[in-house]
Amino acid sequence: MRQSSRTISQRRQRMRPKRPAGRRLVSRPCNWNKSHRTKASSRIRRYAQTVGTSTFRIIMYSYNYYGSRGADMDTQTVPIGGFNVAIPQGFSRLNRMPDDPPEMTAYATQMEQSAYVLFLQPIPADHAMPFGDVQAVEDGIHQALGDDQGLIEVVSGTTDAKRNVIWSIVKTVSQSEGVQYGLTLHPDCPGFVLHVQGFANEAGTTGIREAQVYEFARRHGWIDNQGQGWSCDPYDANYRHGILMNLSEDSRFDDFFPNHPLSVVRKFILMLIRYN
């Protein structure tokens, strides 16, 4: 376990992947290089300067009260591209940055174990990940991953409103700041695709989930004494690049660690699917 010295107020300048000209997002759906990740972390850090500790506690209570699966979470409605998008009530809107695209809006929140910054904007349909083609997205992510990254999941389906949706989660590991989970989610909206990008960082004491699940897995024979069986790419057992997904990042453990950043990301996905 590690003690993070960074708070959300110390992490807030913008992290925004840039799409290479003339290329669909499927070709590099997680183009999150070090510069972009640093900007996002800086923006998150500055966020806490605008809200107090009492506000953080209220947000944390709200997430716990409405349950780890996000089914009945309080929501707020924000207009994006002429379409009203429901997001969790606990997110506060951030001030615009000089280089923000005109239709992009940013939001952030913090809980006991995670800090989350969210970016929303409309994009043309031909810039989105291909609905239903999970394999193409997996392949694109595998080609784009850095040495400090790993694929967690790619899922395609429909929202409760019968809109096509596809998303991916990629982790980025830092020795100094712990693990950041990056979400890219594309629901199909009338006339455009909504580009949802979220980054959830570990906050406070980090590594708790990983340490506890590792010990549980060792005791139950899921891994051997050398740690074999702990890490594996979720879709390609032969893929070895970067930092592979580990057993603690399986969704079956989310309910046991509801404030962990990965649990928060998945909870947000479920909420977005239900209310949009």
Read off the pLDDT band of 79 (50, 70, 90).
very high
Residue 47 pLDDT level (bands cut at 50, 70, 90): very low
Give pLDDT, residue 26. Answer: 36
Name the CATH code of domain 2-16+25-275 (choices 3.30.70.20, 2.60.120.1690, 3.40.50.1970, 3.30.390.50).
2.60.120.1690
Cβ(92)–Cβ(51) under 8 Å? Answer: yes
Q: Report the distance separating Cα 38 and Cα 53, nearest Å.
A: 24
Contacts of 14 (CB under 8 A, 6+ apart): 39, 40, 42, 43, 97, 99, 100, 106, 119
Q: 11 with 185: CB under 8 angstroms?
A: no
pTM for this prediction: 0.78
| Three-class secondary structure of residue 116 per DSSP | strand
